[in-house]
Structure 1
Amino acid sequence: MMLVDTFLRKREETNNHIKVGVVGAGEMGKGLINQIYKHTPGMEVAVTYSRNLEKVLECYRVAGIENFKIVETLYELNESLNLGISCITQNIDLLIHCEALDLLVDMTGSMEFSTQLTYDAIMNKRNILSFNAELDATIGPILKKMAVGAGVQYSIAEGDQPGCTLNLFRFVKNMGFEPLVCGNIKGMLDHYRNPDTQANFAQQWGMSPYMATNFADGTKVAFEQACIANATGMKVGKRGMYGFESNEHVDNLTHLYDIDELRRLGGVVDFIVGAKPGPGVFVYATTDDPHKIKYLNYGKLGKGPLYNFYIPYHLLFFEIPTSIVRMIDLKDDICSAKSGPVVEVITKAKINLKKGDYIDEIGGYKTFGVCDNSDICRKENLLPLGLANGARVKRDILKDQILTFDDVECNEDTLIYRLWKKQEEMFQWQG
């Protein structure tokens, strides 16, 4: 999106900066703050929220932000922003109600907090950009519908696989090709990893062991691909996706897919473990146009019928400012559900569960997530992993068993559960 730098340069020249409210001061929040302050003209970190002031102070120290103020009231926030002073607060309501902000960016990764934040932002007519694929895969369709109704924007960002894949999908489709696979390249997969096995890796990269487990046990890729499916209308070829393993380059793996089956499904989301280039994303597409076929072969993309287009990386927080400009100046949607759920992430037992157990959070010891098509999930009453945290197990469950709503008692008072139920009712016609 090279158009973005032109818009940013114009904003810098006219001193009309995009004012960003950053929510969260973990490693990803720190990276975004550093990226905006040091390397993004025409944009400013207007205010950062965290419950932990020390974390924000560390973010500002890394970025070199020296002119800042800790604020507790909306009046203080607005006064400081008028003076060009970046702010820090422990009161999330200030960001929700500050009309000077162009948008909020959720960098927390928390399901419960992110649900409330996104809901409140939309209800108060605030644009919100999310870095939370787990939330979007669970209730993204209703959040998007609410945002459209409120006249604001909601999307997940570039930098993570869903946003990067949607960029590639749109690029390929705009050239007149037919995308049939949206793929994710994973370095490894072990469904039975847990926060203990991932503790050292997590410490090395400054992340929580639960987050590291979410990556390793396949849950994260399931959520990411569900986001893509809901944004494109693609399905999964089978429960859990095909999930092929190979150490070859994705250029050489188009033979793994049956083009007639792909077309019957309307395209699929999938992942390949161990392939090159990793980490990266790819789109397998086809065409019936003889002229295109001739010049794809000339361009070294092969003889088809599937052709590989790929990006050999995703760049985390480095790419988020691009998403911000696209949302604010171009009114462009990066990645959000086009309608109701197409693919869901359901709950699978990582260990034997006993009656009376409580399911822990995503990336924990007891469950992991796999994808299935939404019509099957609802027909079989399967439990979305995004609703499983804190649920009480009602009967013994064997390792590798898929959980249903009949197997657990969910906390039905949570906002995410209530929104999910509304989403189910709203889009039930799709089943």
Structure 2
Amino acid sequence: MNLSALLAARTAQGKPVRIGLIGAGKFGSMILSQAQHIDGYHIVGIADLDVTKAQTSLARVYWEKNQYSASSLTDAITSGATHVTDDASSLFACSEIEVIIEATGHPIAGVRHALSAIDAGKHVVMVNVEADVMCGPALAERARKAGVVYSMAYGDQPAAICELVDWVHSCGFELVAAGKGMNFCPGYRYSTPDTVWDYFDFTDEQVKSGDFNPKMYNSFTDGTKAAIEMAAVANATGMDCPSDGLAFPPAGLQDLAEVFKPVSEGGRLEKTGIVDIAASREPDGRVVLNNIQYGMFVTFRAPNEYTRQCFNQYGLMTDASGWYGSMWRPFHLIGLETAVSVLSATLRREPTGISKRYRADAVATAKGDFAAGNMLDGEGGFKVWAKAIPAKQAVSLGALPIGLAHHVKLKRSIERDQIVTLDDIEVVDDLDIHALRTEQNQLLES
């Protein structure tokens, strides 16, 4: 990698990389924490509906007040400081800004922001995986036609998994599975924002700090975030989701190559080329030995006997047969690493992961029995969890994507673990997103 050298050369020419950030929550705060330590990396503007909260985030990550006191975007460009605003459209209108980081976590807003940025000729780094899994293939196609980069955010697990998948293909191995670790066991599926902190070791002081959103953390706990991220990985890599959703087999480092291979070979996969999760909990709640809760992995197969022998000679962790090996990254630092995506987009015009095809979806699935008239409350809420399924199946069912399951009314009853369909709900104020989803169906892969 030579991104730092490319940035240094450009900075020496007096041309910093100029960035607009939308959303100053947890991920955005981590981006901001590192931004001030990268020469030539200028956050020109930060847009957040709550300007005071954004300013509080900046103070929390040790920005001096004069660093974010620019009175306008023009002032920010001239002074090198940062302007904080509640108007995201001003970032799109600013010709000097090259790239937009979308970090709101709101799927509908994220899609609309990405469309506006692409229309304005700006690269997009989509932190918002919720938006990407819902409309990423369509957004990527729009960006391609506009001649700009649309990219997953490095530091988040999907982009790191895409990097590992690329490594497998580049080395000439047969890709078998890809996924991530996660603290999950079956009982977590029906967690709610009222019970979520029971699954974490945070103190009351940490929870009250303003950096911890119960719905967001509940999305991790009930498996929704896993479905969103794995479906996004499938769309970026051409892999498949399991036909009945993610299986979450428990597996530690020593188990990856044994577990994440086809059933026909003694593993747990229905076929080769599947995304799934290595759960860090056994079904009874016990912690898995050597779990990779914060990591990402790939499993792959040797193409011949010579390569199989090399696996053994060079210490690769394999299954008992020696044919299947695993590679992993033990951690991800989300926003602390996102500058890699920004610099790759602007300096190389390359994405760090991109949803090139519509292969999988994350669809709303009932957490209980609910009657007509109930309001769904979206990702991480009380009513639905997300299930990752093949896109063909989602289209055939008319399934409701998890990103459109917030604040919508049921027009007929649903039962626990039932996939919610568009026919089950009243479609009200997001017709533009539904239209984009219809456009995306043209990218459906067989």
Q: How high is the TM-score relative to the length of structure 1? A: 0.91
Match of 1:211 in 2: 216
Q: Structure 2: how far apart are the matches of 1:419 and 1:236? A: 22
Q: 1:308 aligns with which of 310, 319, 326?
A: 326
Q: 1:161 aligns with which of 157, 171, 189?
A: 157
In the TM superposition, residue 203 of structure 1 has moved relative to its aligned partner by 4.1
SS of the residue aligned with 2:415?
coil
Q: Structure 2: how far apart are the matches of 1:179 and 1:205? A: 41
Q: Are positions 1:134 and 2:130 aligned together?
A: yes
Q: 2:437 aligns with which of 415, 420, 431?
A: 420
Match of 2:69 in 1: 69
Q: Conserved in 2, the CA contact under 8 Å of 1:259 and 1:306?
A: no
Q: Structure 1: how far apart are the matches of 2:246 and 2:68? A: 47
SS of the residue aligned with 1:185?
strand
SS of the residue aligned with 1:129?
strand
In the TM superposition, residue 230 of structure 1 has moved relative to its aligned partner by 0.4
Map 1:277-426 onto structure 2 (within 5 A). Answer: 277-301=292-316, 302=318, 304-339=322-357, 341-411=358-428, 413-424=430-441, 426=442
Q: Structure 2: how far apart are the matches of 1:79 and 1:30? A: 22
In the TM superposition, residue 60 of structure 1 has moved relative to its aligned partner by 3.1
Q: Conserved in 2, the CA contact under 8 Å of 1:411 and 1:417?
A: no
Match of 1:51 in 2: 49
In the TM superposition, residue 391 of structure 1 has moved relative to its aligned partner by 2.5
Task: Sort the Cα spacing of 1:204 and 1:278 in 2 relative to 1 into closer, same or farther, 3 A.
Answer: farther
Q: Structure 2: how far apart are the matches of 1:255 and 1:134? A: 28
Q: Structure 1: how far apart are the matches of 2:261 and 2:176? A: 10
Q: Structure 2: how far apart are the matches of 1:205 and 1:307? A: 42
Task: Sort the Cα spacing of 1:114 and 1:255 in 2 relative to 1 into closer, same or farther, 3 A.
Answer: closer
Q: Conserved in 1, the CA contact under 8 Å of 2:363 and 2:387?
A: yes
Q: Structure 1: how far apart are the matches of 2:359 and 2:324? A: 24
Q: Conserved in 2, the CA contact under 8 Å of 1:390 and 1:411?
A: no
In the TM superposition, residue 413 of structure 1 has moved relative to its aligned partner by 3.9
Q: How high is the TM-score relative to the length of structure 2? A: 0.88
Map 1:183-198 onto structure 2 (within 5 A). Answer: 183-189=179-185, 190-198=188-196
Match of 1:34 in 2: 33
- Out of 345-354 and 256-265, give the one that drifted further: 256-265
Q: Which 5+ residue runs of structure 1 have no aligned equivalent?
A: none
Q: Structure 1: how far apart are the matches of 2:304 and 2:270? A: 20
Match of 2:95 in 1: 99
Matched AA of 2:13: T
Q: Conserved in 1, the CA contact under 8 Å of 2:262 and 2:272?
A: no
Name the Cα RMSD after superposition: 2.2
Q: Conserved in 1, the CA contact under 8 Å of 2:296 and 2:331?
A: yes
SS of the residue aligned with 1:29?
helix
Task: Sort the Cα spacing of 1:348 and 1:34 in 2 relative to 1 into closer, same or farther, 3 A.
Answer: same
SS of the residue aligned with 2:363?
strand
Match of 1:85 in 2: 81
Q: Conserved in 2, the CA contact under 8 Å of 1:235 and 1:265?
A: no
Which string of whole-angstrom CA distances, capped at 9 and with x for unpartnered residues, describes residues 57-109 of structure 1?
223323324244354xxxx4224312323222222111011110120111111
Map 1:139-288 onto structure 2 (within 5 A). Answer: 139-189=135-185, 190-198=188-196, 203=208, 206-246=211-251, 248-251=252-255, 253-258=257-262, 267-274=273-280, 275=288, 276-288=291-303
In the TM superposition, residue 350 of structure 1 has moved relative to its aligned partner by 0.5
SS of the residue aligned with 1:244?
coil
Which string of whole-angstrom CA distances, capped at 9 and with x for unpartnered residues, describes residues 261-309 of structure 1?
8999550101021152321110001121333222111111135321100
Paired residues in the alignment total 421
Q: Structure 1: how far apart are the matches of 2:28 and 2:132? A: 19
In the TM superposition, residue 205 of structure 1 has moved relative to its aligned partner by 7.2
Q: Which 5+ residue runs of structure 2 have no aligned equivalent?
A: 281-287
